[in-house]
Structure 1
Amino acid sequence: MNKPISRRTFLKKSLGTLATLTGLGIGGNYYAHNLEPKWLETKHKIISHPLIPKGFHGMKMVQFSDTHLGFQFQLKDLQAIVNKINELDPDVILFTGDLMDQPNKYKAHQKIPLVLNELKAPLGKFSIYGNHDHGGYGSEIYSDIMEKSHFTMLKNTSAKITLLTAEEIIIAGVDDAMLGKPDFEKALFGIPKEVFTIMLSHAPDLADISRTYDIQYQISGHSHGGQVQIPFAGALVTPPYAEKYREGTYEIDSLTLHVNRGLGTTRLPYRFLSRPELTVYEFQAEK
């Protein structure tokens, strides 16, 4: 028979439980606000395909995305990322959109090129538009920053990466799906079928369009990996065009898609079970 619990004991246990839950809440808030947003993960991916020329074997690309400067991520954080990317010694650098959280309200945009110009990539630096880059009348602000930072802007266009051996691959990019006008036909115009082609799309769900073209690999951001993931329930928020493909690598017919979780935060200054990500891609030519 259970011994009756006294009112004093009940109150003591109840207060102890409340204190524990409060402590967990405070600790969880501190972790999600102060720790995980700065706990960078560097992911390494191998890109292997019969169309990759042998001269590209070992070539390295680094992708960074969704910095959202001015919200939680600041210039000092961008400088740290630039230093990290340079340590990785990439041949190519890709930025897949959402540089500033609110371009027309960010007061230090003239300082951004001073930082981004430190990035070193002998075979080129390429960028595309995200929805926040267009938002707040920011389209021209963003394009001006990236031009001054010596990035090639791919807005429904493509660029060749050509080696001294005359071997080449293609990097194409489409405009943002939410606030821009993505045009795959224009982006891919004139690209031969036998040339390995990478599509940069801020919105990962456009992979369902990429799969219908002669595109072998799509690289995206936008989702933040859900930014805050609730155990057993999933992402707290998934933005439009990142509802189907949220994070990680997917095989979709003959297309491979990788969705980078980004570096910054938006709307809520938290990350939980969705660490910021740099992605390193290394090419392997098939023998």
Structure 2
Amino acid sequence: MPKKMKRRTFLKSTIGTVLTVLGLGSGGYFYANRIEPSLLEINNIDIKHSLIPSSFTGVKIVQFSDTHLGFHYTLNQLEKLVNKINHLQPDLIFFTGDLLDEPNKYNEIKKIAPILQNLKATMGKYCIYGNHDHGGYGSEIYKNVMELSNFTVLLNESILIKQKDGSTISLMGIDDRMLGKPDLEHVMKQVPEDSFKLLLSHAPDIADEAQTYQIHWQLSGHSHGGQVKIPFVGALVIPPFAQNYPEGYYSIGESNPLELYVNRGIGTTRLPFRFMAKPELTVFTLLSSAN
């Protein structure tokens, strides 16, 4: 009960702050609460590297993140999202965490997997834990839902994604930084040194550590792009472990840099608003730059 009161108090005070700072009237409130959260943006990014085998050129990845089912995001909206992802015809689908806002309080758990099972990807579906997936005693709930949905849950492990000719790239997934136990050192022991290395991490800021392991690309979520941005000021709240890299593309390090992309996510949490931070699907296309 105290936790509920704390959350309610936070929402009430913060919503008041948002509306005051933005000077939102009823029209502005409606936009931030109802319109922008539904304005899904699809961003296209090329992932180009000499270690990507030529057989992977043209492989399409769709990343989605942070649905936060149960907090102003419904199963009906999830169904529509699945249809949009399938329309993009991905070869690989990556979910980078925070499926449910409060897993142990969600009353329609059994309805999620039949929806996510409809996601189609010719080379597989993979996911990692976010902080909300662990929160509320949700770790096993999330794992069960995603495995029933035909996703492979990567928890501090690496796999090889293979083409028919035997060529491979390495896909790594680590645990959440806030409530889990990420272990990059353990993961890297499983990875062939000469392979292209792609890391899934819910928390973007782990990129500073990942760069020291000569990982080539990292895909993250968690920040919601700030979710609510104040003009000329920036994001109202950026969560821990997304402070350094809150949104979009970054190149980290001078020698053999790590390329990082931070997806703004789909749903909302804490605040039932998005303002200057549209929800996002990211479509990555693999390209070999080998001569």
Q: How far 1:190 sits from its partner (Å)?
A: 2.5
- The 3-state SS of whatever aligns with 1:246 is coil
Give the ranges of 4+ consecutive aligned residues of structure 1 lying more than 2 Å apart after TM superposition.
none
Could you tell me which runs of 5 or more consecutive residues in structure 2 were left unpaired when the two chains were aligned: 1-21
The answer for the alignment partner of 1:244 in structure 2 is: 244
The answer for the alignment partner of 2:258 in structure 1 is: 255
Could you tell me which runs of 5 or more consecutive residues in structure 1 were left unpaired when the two chains were aligned: 1-21
What is the rounded CA distance, in whole Å, between the counterparts of 1:257 and 1:192 in structure 2? 21
2:67 matches 1:67:
yes
| Mapping of residues 221-232 of structure 1, within 5 Å | 221-232=221-232
What is the rounded CA distance, in whole Å, between the counterparts of 2:258 and 2:214 in structure 1? 9
Q: How far 1:24 sits from its partner (Å)?
A: 4.9
- The 3-state SS of whatever aligns with 2:61 is strand
Counterpart contact for 2:60–2:90, Cα < 8 Å: yes
| Mapping of residues 11-90 of structure 1, within 5 Å | 24-90=24-90
Counterpart contact for 1:193–1:214, Cα < 8 Å: no
What is the rounded CA distance, in whole Å, between the counterparts of 1:71 and 1:121 in structure 2? 27
Q: How far 1:185 sits from its partner (Å)?
A: 1.3
Q: How far 1:214 sits from its partner (Å)?
A: 2.3
Q: How far 1:193 sits from its partner (Å)?
A: 1.6
Give the direction of change, closer, same or farther, for the CA distance of 1:166–1:23 in structure 2 (3 Å limit).
Answer: closer
What is the rounded CA distance, in whole Å, between the counterparts of 1:29 and 1:89 in structure 2? 35
RMSD between aligned alpha carbons? 1.3
CA deviation profile, 1:36-93 (whole Å, cap 9, x unmatched): 0000000000000011100000000000000000001110111011000000000000
The answer for the alignment partner of 2:205 in structure 1 is: 205
Aligned residues: 267
2:103 matches 1:103:
yes
The answer for the alignment partner of 1:157 in structure 2 is: 157
| Mapping of residues 137-156 of structure 1, within 5 Å | 137-156=137-156
The answer for the alignment partner of 1:284 in structure 2 is: 287
2:273 matches 1:274:
no
The answer for the alignment partner of 2:19 in structure 1 is: none
Instruction: Calculate percent identity across the aligned residue pairs.
Output: 56
Matched letter for residue 185 of structure 1? E
Counterpart contact for 2:158–2:170, Cα < 8 Å: yes
Matched letter for residue 270 of structure 1? F
What is the rounded CA distance, in whole Å, between the counterparts of 2:23 and 2:154 in structure 1? 48
Counterpart contact for 2:229–2:236, Cα < 8 Å: yes
What is the rounded CA distance, in whole Å, between the counterparts of 2:202 and 2:69 in structure 1? 17
2:114 matches 1:124:
no
Counterpart contact for 1:172–1:198, Cα < 8 Å: yes
What is the rounded CA distance, in whole Å, between the counterparts of 1:52 and 1:146 in structure 2? 28
- The 3-state SS of whatever aligns with 2:104 is coil
Matched letter for residue 259 of structure 1? V
- The 3-state SS of whatever aligns with 1:161 is strand
Counterpart contact for 2:157–2:190, Cα < 8 Å: no
What is the rounded CA distance, in whole Å, between the counterparts of 2:66 and 2:24 in structure 1? 29
Counterpart contact for 2:158–2:190, Cα < 8 Å: no
- The 3-state SS of whatever aligns with 1:93 is strand
- The 3-state SS of whatever aligns with 1:199 is strand
- The 3-state SS of whatever aligns with 1:85 is helix
What is the rounded CA distance, in whole Å, between the counterparts of 2:27 and 2:63 in structure 1? 32
